[in-house]
Every structure is written in C-alpha cells, then in structure tokens.
Amino acid sequence: MTDTIVLKDVRKDFGDQQVIKGVSFAAANGETTVIIGGSGAGKTTLLRMIVALEKPTSGQILIDNEDIVPLKPDQLNRIRTKFGMVYQYAALLDSSTVLENVAFPLVEHTKLSKKEIRDRVLEKLKILGLDDGVEKKFPSELSGGMRKRVGLARALMLEPKILVYDEPTSGLDPLTSRLVDDLIDEMRERFDITSIVISHDIASCFRIAHQAILLIRGKVVAIGPPDELANGENEEAREFIKMSGVDVSGVSRVKKT
C-alpha cells in the first residue's frame, strides 16, 4: 500500500498565532482518512494546505511523492487537479441547473463539445443514483441528500485521484447521513479513490474510516483505526469519543479492503 498524501512536521502561523503545530501523517492510496476534532482545532486550515490553497509556514506536504510546498502558483494548479472537493453544503450555484453545476469543471478545464459534456454529466448522475430529468432541476428543488450527490458528481468530473470532503454529513438527518457514508465508501471502491474527510460526526468516522486522526488545538493527539482511538491507551482520544455521546460499539463498520 503506497501513501498518496504525506505530511511531515507541517506548521502554520497566522501572525504570532500558531494554528497548526507540527502535524505529521500519511494517507494510504485507496483508503479513507477521517480528521476529527472540535471547532477551532485547525481542521479547515489543515485541509486548505493539503489541497494547495494555503502554504504552510514550514514542513513538507507530499502528494504522490512530490513536495508541493516549494511549488509556484502555476505549478500548484497541476496539483489541484488531483483533488475533487465536496463542500459542506454542496456549494451549488443556485441560479444554475444541476447540469450546469456538474458540468462546470469540464467547461472550465476541457475543450469538450457541449454534447460530450452533457453525456459525461448524465453518466455521473446515473452512477450516483439520480433519476432522469434531475439535470434540469435547480438546487432549491433538491433534497439535502440529492444536493450531496450532485456536489459529488461535480467533484468527480475531472476524475481526481483524491476526494476531499468537508463536513459531508453536516446538517443532514441520521438516515441521510448514513446514506452519504455509504456513498463515500462506494466512490472509494468504484473509482479507487483516496478519501480525506473532515468531520465532527463520530458515527460517520467509525463507519468509513480506515484511519482516524484526532486534531486538538492544532496538534495530532491520536492516530489509528477508529477502534484503537476508542479503546486504546490515549486518554484524550477516549474522552473525545465518549463526549460525543455516540455508542460506537453499535456502529456498523465499513468493510476494510
């Protein structure tokens, strides 16, 4: 198993405030890494550095064995095409149809014809279980779960190696949240994708994570399979999971590959 993403002693300062304090971890190819932590832990800052939207103050970030930290802006654009982003509330354009939303990456980054773009969009929507005709709808006409699927379809259009999910189950009811978990794992298996998930959802973490990383005040305080965090020797990890109120012993795990 090779590592798609490797962070080595990554630090990020904003003025005299140190937000990320020497974070190191590796995300294996084709697996799901879930980064958990409370508000203000530094998860969003860490995510922005991984996807090359923010430069660390120091340290290394290797994507496919290439250190992206010293790269210039035009070189970083090449790195960003390796990622597909699925945002917290899908981040769909309300004034555009589903077809227009999903097609956006192809319009911006390819020279495909309108017919080729439409065919690719419809193919992805079908893969994600969205019915015929949904491409004509506007985001306001979709349920929360459908919006997530449309956002995921858009993220997949450039066939990225890595999918990054920012709070994918936020604002969803428990049933829809579990359906989103299933979808994340299905996409990982179907497209051999490496998944990075930022989440507050402990149940989701236990369902989909091969590796869980607990970030507290900008530091990694625990890392490993979710069961190890819940039942291991790290007191901070055990307490964090306990305080979530989730009975993790009753959570059905995703099958490991």
Asked if the model's pLDDT at residue 7 lies above 70, the reply is yes
Instruction: Report the run of H or E that residue 34 belongs to, with start and end.
Output: strand 32-36
Contact 209, 194 (CB under 8 A): no
* Segment 89-117 mean pLDDT: 87
Asked if the model's pLDDT at residue 6 lies above 70, the reply is yes
Asked if the model's pLDDT at residue 1 lies above 90, the reply is no
Is 0.85 topped by the overall pTM?
Answer: yes
Asked if the model's pLDDT at residue 257 lies above 60, the reply is no
Between CA 62 and CA 5 the distance in angstroms is 6
Exposed (0-12), middle (13-18) or buried (19+): which is 197, by Cβ within 10 Å?
buried
Between CA 106 and CA 94 the distance in angstroms is 19
Question: Look-up: residue for tokens 């956002």?
Answer: 151
Structure tokens at 165: 């999910």
> What is the predicted pLDDT for the residue at 246?
81
> What is the predicted pLDDT for the residue at 19?
95
* Segment 199-208 mean pLDDT: 90
Instruction: Report the run of H or E that residue 150 belongs to, with start and end.
Output: helix 144-156
